[in-house]
Chains A and B, each alone.
Chain A
């Protein structure tokens, strides 16, 4: 399956999320990963040609990642 540039961006963001998860304490790593997954799945139905919506969600996701990547955030429910 060939992916568009935007689709690659989405996967790259997800990859970045998993990388950040690994920096979290061992016990809460699973929670962060599950949270990232549900955040992506919330928008799984967005049409792949709806570029502006996907771009908006990407920006939102990156901002969210920045917030949760801060070392002060140790666990997530």
Chain B
């Protein structure tokens, strides 16, 4: 969150820096070249990924996102049934094809790929949260 705030302010700063130079650029070359060197710097900064920042997700956050996803899924029998221990088939009234759809949606939400072998074992919200937390690539 902090990083995006910095990025946003940096982008805003470069935008305001660009504007006067566009007007002045026709008359003077020096200011234009100064902003010219400023813009690539922010771009380079954006390209840097902060690998040190927290890689694994919090259990509660994962649960909230899965809950959000499930409540948008119209085949769930009752949104109030979505709890941390809810079973897709027994508690939420989903059939096996729905379960596949949910697991695929989770896959998309956290931008990971779940191999078939693991996807077959995810039958409940609890299992899904556990799996996502154990995946270092999930975000």
A-side interface residues toward B, CB under 8 Å?
1, 3, 7-8, 11-12, 14-15, 18-19, 22, 37, 40-41
Contact = CB atoms under 8 A, between A and B. Distances in A.
**Which of A8, A18, A37 has most B Cβ within 10 Å?**
A18
Interface stretch (B11-19, B96-104, B128-136): B96-104
B89 A15 contact: no
Given A3-B120, A8-B120, A15 B104 contact: yes
A18 B120 contact: no
Contacts of A11: 96-97, 100, 120
Size category of the binding interface on chain B = 10 to 19
Chain B interface, >50% SS class: helix
A18 B101 contact: yes
A49 B103 CA distance: 26
Nearest to A1: B89
Interface in B72-105: 89, 96-97, 100-101, 103-104
Contacts of A1: 89, 123
Contacts of B39: none
Nearest to B119: A15
A40 B97 contact: yes
A69 B119 CA distance: 22
